[in-house]
Amino acid sequence: MAGEAPRVVVALDVDSRERAEALASRLDPALCRLKVGKELFTRTGPELVERLHARGYSVFLDLKFHDIPNTVAGACRAAADLGVWMVNVHALGGERMLIAAREALDTAGGARPLLTAVTMLTSHGPEDLARLGLRDSPDALVARLAALALGAGLDGLVCSAREAADLRAAHGPDPVLVTPGIRPAEADADDQRRVVTPGEALAQGSDYLVIGRPVTAAPDPRHALERINASIAD
């Protein structure tokens, strides 16, 4: 996949800077991007992101901001100042929060991170929505929140690969679709309930594949990543 922008975003779901950097040193920015989530960022802070940038990686800062518009706008500006490739928010934060996040990045100097929204957490089922007082079915809620986020001018969505084809049909080719829950055909599903192979996810319209344990827990992470990239190239 040399020469082509990497489609795989490896989830660095580890609990220390040392472990994160050990993985980064075994992987290659020509082969993948990296996702830094809440646990790792809370433990290591912006310094780790700067170190990953120094190694040449594009970083998806997966902190799923969800707060009042002014606070989320400030957090997005801080992410832009860090120089990350992508940052995300919760669509449930509402339209004014989504617009404030997008406007904060529009007016931030330097390279603007891509701004994506999480619609419904995949850990939520219909009964969880009912207990929250949300009457939509999960599918209808995803469609509603996706339209809200894209209408607010966000660049794309974090969604299940199983939702990607419907979202492409509804919103066309422009939104960036980022999909977790990916497993190579031969890999263990771990705790993911409904998994999709890398090739299937791309066929459904996904742009970027978030993949954690199939790479990070492999005896040879780089080899595992190369096999995934080869399966995509096929």
Question: Which residues sit at the interface with ligand C5P, rule CB under 6 A?
Answer: 11, 13, 37, 122, 180-181, 190, 192, 210-213
Residue 234: CB minimum distance to ligand C5P, A? 20
Helices (H) and strands (E) in the chain, counts: 11, 8
Alpha carbon 230 to chain centroid, angstroms: 21
Q: Which is nearer to ligand C5P, 149 or 210 (CB)?
A: 210
Q: What are the backbone angles phi and psi of residue 147, rounded to the nearest 5°?
A: -65, -40
Q: Is 38 annotated as catalytic? A: no
Residue 197: CB minimum distance to ligand C5P, A? 12
- Residue closest to ligand C5P (Cβ): 212
Q: Which is nearer to ligand C5P, 73 or 120 (CB)?
A: 120
Q: Which is nearer to ligand C5P, 98 or 158 (CB)?
A: 158
Residue among 13, 6, 4, 58 nearest 34 (CA):
58
Question: In angstroms, what is the C-alpha Rg of the chain?
Answer: 17
Task: Report the distance separating Cα 56 and Cα 34, nearest Å.
Answer: 10
Q: Which two tokens stand for residue 133?
A: 């007082």
Q: Which is nearer to ligand C5P, 71 or 192 (CB)?
A: 192
Residue 222: CB minimum distance to ligand C5P, A? 17
Which residues have a Cβ under 8 Å from the Cβ of 114 and sit 6 or more positions away? 85, 86, 87, 155, 156, 176
Residue among 187, 199, 216, 192 nearest 7 (CA):
199
Please tell me which residue in 33, 64, 102, 171 is annotated as part of the active site.
64
Residue 38: CB minimum distance to ligand C5P, A? 9
Residue identified by tokens 């066309």 is: 172
Catalytic residues: 64
